[in-house]
Amino acid sequence: MVTRLHEAPSDVFNPWLHIASLIEQAGHLLGLNEGLIKRIVTPERILEVAVPVRMDSGDIEMFTGWRIQHNSSRGPGKGGIRFHPSVNVDEIAALSADMSIKCAVVNIPYGGAKGGVRVDPALLSRGELERLTRRYAFSIAPMIGPDRDIPAPDINTDPQVMSWIMDTVSMLAGHSLPGVVTGKPLAIGGSLGHAGATSFGVTICTMALLKQLNRPALGERVVIQGYGKVGSPLVKLLSERGMKVVGLADIHGAIHVPDGIDYLKLAAHFEDAKSIMGYPGGDEVHADELFSLPSDIAIPAALGGVIDEKVAEKMSASMMVEAANGPTTGEGAAVLTSRNIQVVPDVLANAGGVVASYFEWAQDLQGFMWEMELVQQRLEKTMHDAFDAVWLRHDQLNLPLRDTALVVGVERIAEATELRGLFP
C-alpha cells in the first residue's frame, strides 16, 4: 500500500499516490514479487531544504526547496528543477518517479530525479532570482554531480538558471563541472538541438501514432494547451507537417481558429502582445472549452492534472499526445480508455527533452560537441525506437499505450535492480 509523503486533503488529486499506484499495477502485471515492487516504488532520497534569500529591500525571505532521487538502478538521477508557487513534496516525488519510468522507456542510462522551490519567480528581481538559485544549489550540492544526479530546466527555469547552478557547484568543487546540469547555454557546455527537443519528440510520437492508425497528417485538427517552451514550437512543427492547429491556450485564455493558426503571424503577435489573446481571426473561448473544440488531436502542454474526468468526457479529439508531465488524472485516463481515445503517455511523448539532455551530458563528459545533424538524427532514432518498442508490447499485451509504457519502463528498472542485487 502506497503511503502519502505529507498530509493533504484526501479529496485533492495527489500526483505521488497516482504514479506510485500505476507502478504497483505494472509490477503486478509483470508478476514481480512485492519486495521488488516496493524497492521500485519507494524514493531513494528525499531532501527538503530551507532557502533563505536576502531580498533587494534588505529583508530576509524564507523559501522551501526539494531534491528527490527516486531510483538509480539504471544510472545517475536525471530530472528538472521547477520554481512555482504550487511546488510540494508529493508533486516533486511524482515527477521523479515519472523520470525513472521515462528514462527507462527511451532506454537511456539514467534513473529518475526531480527538484523544485516553492516560489513565484515572477515576483523576484533578477538579483533575487540568482540569489535564490545559488542558495538552493548550495543546499542540494551534496546530492548532485555528473555521476550522481544531473538537473535540467523545468517550469520557470531556463539556461540562465542552469548556468548559476553549474557555477555554484563548480565553485564548491574547485573546478569546472559542465556536466552537473543540462539545458545550459552553448558557451558553457550546452548542446545544439537541446532547445525544442521536447517539442520535436512530441511531433515524432504524433506522426508515429498517426502512421499506426493509418491516418494521414494532412488536415488533422489539433488543439494545444500551453504556448510556452513546448507548446510554442509545436505550433510550428505540426503546421509544417500539414496539420491545422485550430485551438490554443495560454495562461491568459484560449482561442479557436477553425481554419488553422498561421504560426508566423502568431509568433509576431505574441512578441507584441505577450499573449495569444487577440490573435487576428481567432475567436476567444473559455480555457475550459479548449478540449471540447472540434478537433482530431489533443495535446496538453502545460501543467499536470488538467485532463480530469469532466474534461475527458467532453474531449472532441480521438487521440491525445501528452506533452506535459502528468497531465491526466487516473479518473481522466479511465474515461479516455472507455471512449477508445488513443493516448501517447508523457513518459514516452515528451521524452525528447531528456534524450537531448543525455546527449548534452555525453558531450560534456567527452569534451566534444556534436553537429546539429547528428543530435537530431540520434534524437529521432531514439524516439522512434522507443515508440516502436512500446507499440510492439501494446500489440502483445492488448493494453492501452499508457499502461504499456509503464510496463516497459518498470520491466527495465526491475531487470537492472535484480541484476545489481541488494547491498549489503
Tell me the catalytic residues.
Answer: 114
What is the C-alpha to C-alpha distance for residues 143 and 412, in angstroms, rounded to an integer?
A: 24
Q: How far is CA 204 from the centre of its chain?
A: 16
Instruction: Select from 414, 412, 408, 251 the least CA-distant residue to 345.
Output: 408
Q: What is the CA radius of gyration of the chain?
A: 21
Rounded (10°) angle between helices 352-366 and 372-397: 130
H helical segments located in 123-158: 126-140
Retrieve residue 190's grid coordinates: 550546452
320 alpha carbon, distance to own chain's centre: 16
CB atoms within 10 A of CB 23: 24
| Under 8 Å between Cβ of 221 and 297 | yes
Distance CA 198, CA 195 (A): 8
Cα distances (Å, whole numbers) of residue 315 to 7, 69, 261, 292, 344: 33, 35, 20, 5, 15
